[in-house]
Amino acid sequence: MSDIIVGIDIGTSKVCTVIGQLGRADELVIIGEGMDSCCGIKKGVIVDIESTARAVKNSVEQAEAKADIKIGSAYVNIIGMHVSVLNYRSEINRSGEENEISQRDIDKVLHNVRDIELPEDRQLIDIIPRQYIIDGYDEIVDPIGMLGVKMEVDADVIAAKITSAQNIIKSLEKAGLKIDGLVVESFATAEMALTQEEKDIGVILVDVGGGVTDISVYKNNRLLFYDSIPVGGDHITNDISIGLKISHNDAEKIKRQFELALTSLIKNDQDILVNEINENKKKAVKVSEVVEIIECRVHEILYLCNELLCKSGIRESLPAGIVLTGGGISHIDGGKQLASEVFELPVRIATPKLNGITKSEFMTAAGIVRFANNNKKGTSLINEIKNKKQVQKNNENGVFKKLSALFKKLS
Ligand SMILES: Nc1ncnc2c1ncn2[C@@H]1O[C@H](COP(=O)(O)OP(=O)(O)OP(=O)(O)O)[C@@H](O)[C@H]1O
Ligand SMILES: [Mg+2]
């Protein structure tokens, strides 16, 4: 089953599983998908491991049935609020310069990246090589087979909050699965939503989920900025529920019925009948009342994203503009117009582009599969990720000293 890669996206409103298979020409095909609703996550934080594990199990079983295989392990997402991405350069000097650079050299230079100092509440979950520099020549993606003495690597070091990482692992283990790796959600989504050209020339990816909106900026194929705000599509539903005094379920239904975020796009401002909460009667409301509520909240979400970007000082010179994704905005007409007004940049809505993906809901899970496949030449930290709790418990002289010693012992 080494040609099988499984991605699980644990989101605020649902858990999605995607099973990918590598074909003969190394092309990735999706052979199974599964989805189950989940209420174990609040504002991006796992608050109920049992119910998250149940949703994971159900979505995996559906995907397994479609693919007609049993899976034992998976890659899983971790959201932006719980990770920091640090840039780190490490180097080695090769003695046998007449020998070609091999995977061993790559492993060695990446291993040195592990010496980075991290805050006590963080653990290393991934090291993503971005470029190699051989004897001063940079922008090398795959140095294997080249000659050179000094070998450097520029890597993105991904550090996660220990509690968040361990709760994700626990949820997977309770669902009977081993963990292959943790993938930063934005990397997975970008893998599916953005083109290489957009990532090169500069682009902002805005992923409006259920409870959280993630904002990431890519330029020169690097992640330049990454942040989240704890507001998403569920807040639109709450606003409708409170504004019209109707139940949350009815509000969600109405939101999905109109899928509109601009009052100027309303064709027929008719009356609709809604069930008054706790009253056994119906009342009439205008379509424009619903759409106005949606418009306000979508505008606010986009405004907050723009504020974050302006404060960070990296809003300029991103010619590819904005790419919108996530269930909270991608189904809603007018979201694109609102975004171009707020950001004053070109906007497009992302569409999934991977063989076998049938619904946009599976974008992140499919992106995890694709990211894991594209980065398998990197370094596997899975044992360290899982054992982190134990290391932390034994820690008396600073987490990182011990962790480094452990890495050295394991290598
Ligand atoms: N057809 C639709 N019209 C309007 N909103 C929709 C529609 N379908 C889904 N949504 C909204 O999309 C949101 C969920 O988006 P998504 O599936 O991207 O979130 P998630 O990945 O579960 O959560 P997060 O990324 O925040 O952890 C919910 O608020 C839901 O109401
Ligand atoms: Mg999501």
* pLDDT score for 228: 86
β-strands 73-78, 122-134: how paired? Answer: unpaired
**117 half-sphere exposure, CB direction, 13 A CA radius:** 1
Question: Does the C-beta of 297 come closer than 6 Å to ligand 1?
Answer: no
* pLDDT score for 383: 67
**Termini Cα distance of the chain:** 26
Token output for 375 = 């980065």
Residue 100, pLDDT > 70, answer yes
Residue 25, pLDDT > 80, answer no
Nearest ligand for residue 255 CA: 1
**What integer is the mean pLDDT of 69-80?**
93
Q: How far is the CA of 11 from the centre of ligand 2 (A)?
A: 5
* pLDDT score for 221: 83
Question: Does the C-beta of 361 come closer than 6 Å to ligand 1?
Answer: yes
Please, which residues have CB within 8 angstroms of residue 184's CB and are 6 or more apart in sequence? 77, 78, 80, 83, 85, 126, 158, 226
Question: Does the C-beta of 214 come closer than 6 Å to ligand 1?
Answer: no
Which of 96-110, 246-260, 263-277 is predicted with the least confidence, judged by mean pLDDT?
96-110
Question: Does the C-beta of 185 come closer than 6 Å to ligand 1?
Answer: no
**For the CA of 185, the nearest atom of ligand 1:** 25
How far is Cα 400 from Cα 382, in angstroms, rounded to an integer?
A: 17
pLDDT tens for each residue of 314-353? 888 899 999 999 999 999 999 999 999 999 999 999 987 7
Please, which residues have CB within 8 angstroms of residue 354's CB and are 6 or more apart in sequence? 28, 30, 192, 366, 370
**What integer is the mean pLDDT of 90-117?**
87
* pLDDT score for 293: 97
Question: Does the C-beta of 12 come closer than 6 Å to ligand 1?
Answer: yes
* pLDDT score for 37: 95
Q: Distance from CA of residue 1 to its chain's centroid?
A: 25
Edge-to-edge, what's the strand order for the sheet holding 347-349? 222-229, 213-219, 203-208, 322-325, 347-349
List the one residue out of 238, 185, 193, 247 whose CA is nearest residue 211: 238
Contact of 183 with 15, CB cutoff 8 Å: no
Query: Hey, what domains does the chain have and what are their CATH numbers?
Result: 4-81+164-194+353-374 (3.30.420.40), 204-349 (3.30.420.40)
Nearest ligand for residue 228 CA: 1
Residue whose entry in the numeric block shows the structure tokens 């990918």: 20
Q: How far is the CA of 300 from the centre of ligand 1 (A)?
A: 17
DSSP string over 292-346: HHHHHHHHHHHHHHHHHHHHHT--SS-TT-EEEESHHHHTSBTHHHHHHHHH-S-
Contact of 188 with 128, CB cutoff 8 Å: no
Residue whose entry in the numeric block shows the structure tokens 């007004």: 341
**31 half-sphere exposure, CB direction, 13 A CA radius:** 18
Exposure string of 48-73, with b = 16+ CB inside 10 Å and e = fewer, is bbebbbbbbbbbbbbbbebbeeebeb
β-strands 347-349, 322-325: how paired? Answer: parallel
Token output for 122 = 């963080």
Nearest ligand for residue 189 CA: 2
Contact of 87 with 154, CB cutoff 8 Å: yes
**What integer is the mean pLDDT of 377-383?**
61
How far is Cα 390 from Cα 373, in angstroms, rounded to an integer?
A: 29
List the one residue out of 364, 291, 354 whose CA is nearest residue 8: 364
Other C-beta atoms lying within 10 Å of the C-beta of residue 388:
23
Residue 125, pLDDT > 50, answer yes
pLDDT tens for each residue of 6-20? 999 999 889 999 999
Residue 56, pLDDT > 90, answer yes
Which residue's alpha carbon is at the smallest distance from atom 9 of ligand 1? 327
DSSP string over 253-279: HHHHHH-B--GGG-S---EEEEEPTTS
**For the CA of 236, the nearest atom of ligand 1:** 29
Q: What is the mean pLDDT of the chain?
A: 88
